[in-house]
Amino acid sequence: MYGAGDVRIDNVPDAGLVEPTDALLRVTRACICGSDLWPYNQMEHSETGQRMGHEFIGVVEAAGAEVRSVKPGDLVVAPFAWSDGTCDFCREGLHTSCLNGGWWARNGIDGGQGDAVRVPQADGTLVVLPVGPDDALMPSLLTLSDVMGTGHHAALAARVAPGKTAAVVGDGAVGLCGVIAAKRLGAEQIILLGRHPDRIALARDFGATDVVRERGDEAVERVRELTGGFGAHSVLECVGHGESMVTALGIARPGGAVGRVGLPQHEPIPTTMRTFFDNVTIGGGPAPARAYIEELLPDVLEGRIEPGRVFDRVTNLDGVPDGYRAMNEREAIKVLVEL
Ligand SMILES: [Zn+2]
């Protein structure tokens, strides 16, 4: 990406092994993320450009001398952050705070929207998939790199529990995966706040019991009506706008919890006094997707959840710039890239 609205397919130096803990991956599936749209709308022009992509599946082409858990020929999924799997935070399941980890497409690390990626800390980062590279489950498996893990993280941070009420703010791919996660964790009533008919239909398939199309104060009012006047036990904030955070906090019932996974576009957390006096817990952050892959993988493999349905468009590498456009104009929910 060279600036807002300026996505190009370029030839770059070949990826290769550098450290003995690296693996070299040939990417077979990648995708465009809702968070990629922030720079797509706001990035200042750059002469050198910025690598893009943090969700991908690929085949291991080569592995460094110290790599033990993957070998050439393995099909693997990469979470959206790389991590060593052994530091204090990784052992606590918070891989996004890894002391020896980092982010794709930053600081000289390859991005996933490309043919090949050097994977640092391969043992801690990659998870082998027990299927072939063209398996029909590929879209759902790819969501384990980010959106399904992120929806799950929102649900955990919002303390979704059996028999409780969950509200999901946002009908993007993460919000839709949040509906799947809330259902999977036993929520009885699942309210989606969104307004796009195609996304609402998918949310209902995934388990949403109610839909609120209003925004702002009207949305808060509507959710209260649907929850006996109190609000939801659990609120999954899957957008990141100041406005959506105000709504999320406004629909949490006293003693409830808000799990925020939308990248915050505003520094302050609003409505401090109300959430203080209502004992509302505010949690969340970047999902440690790596920590959740093993837990969610069996549900995908056995067909209990189908998060891959959030992909409603497939393209190839040359189609990536138009994929950004389509997602930005809300023509597509999420674009899958086949390489
Ligand atoms: Zn670590």
pLDDT(30) > 90: yes
Query: Which has the closest alpha carbon to 177: 159, 157, 199, 161?
Result: 199
Residue 282 CA, ligand 1 centroid: distance in Å:
25
pLDDT(151) > 90: yes
Residue 320 CA, ligand 1 centroid: distance in Å:
32
Confidence (pLDDT) at 264: 84
Residue 94 CA, ligand 1 centroid: distance in Å:
8
* Sign of the CA dihedral running 59, 29, 260, 100: positive
Q: Is there a contact between 103 and 36 (Cβ–Cβ < 8 Å)?
A: no
Average pLDDT over residues 210-228: 97
pLDDT category at 152 given cuts 50, 70, 90 is very high
Residue 32 CA, ligand 1 centroid: distance in Å:
26
Residue 93 CA, ligand 1 centroid: distance in Å:
9
Residue 312 CA, ligand 1 centroid: distance in Å:
34
Residue 331 CA, ligand 1 centroid: distance in Å:
38
How far is the C-alpha of 13 from the C-alpha of 24, rounded, in Å? 14
Residue 144, both tokens: 């384990």
Confidence (pLDDT) at 241: 86
Q: Residue 181 CB: number of other CB atoms within 10 A?
A: 33
pLDDT(188) > 90: yes
Exposed/middle/buried for residue 56 (C-beta within 10 Å: 0-12, 13-18, 19+): buried
Confidence (pLDDT) at 308: 98
Residue 91 CA, ligand 1 centroid: distance in Å:
7
Confidence (pLDDT) at 262: 86
Instruction: Report the predicted TM-score, pTM, of the whole model to 2 decimal places.
Output: 0.96
Task: Give the tens place of pLDDT for each residue, 246-294.
Answer: 999 999 999 999 999 988 888 888 888 889 999 999 999 999 999 999 9
> Which helix (DSSP H) or strand (DSSP E) does residue 168 occupy?
strand 165-169
Task: Give the tens place of pLDDT for each residue, 73-126.
Answer: 999 999 999 999 999 999 999 999 999 999 999 999 999 999 999 999 999 999
Residue 48 CA, ligand 1 centroid: distance in Å:
30
Residue 95 CA, ligand 1 centroid: distance in Å:
6
How far is the C-alpha of 37 from the C-alpha of 4, rounded, in Å? 9
Length of the chain in residues, anyone? Answer: 339
Confidence (pLDDT) at 242: 86
Residue 92 CA, ligand 1 centroid: distance in Å:
9
Mean pLDDT estimate for the chain: 96
Residue 98 CA, ligand 1 centroid: distance in Å:
3
Query: Which has the closest alpha carbon to 210: 196, 186, 194?
Result: 194
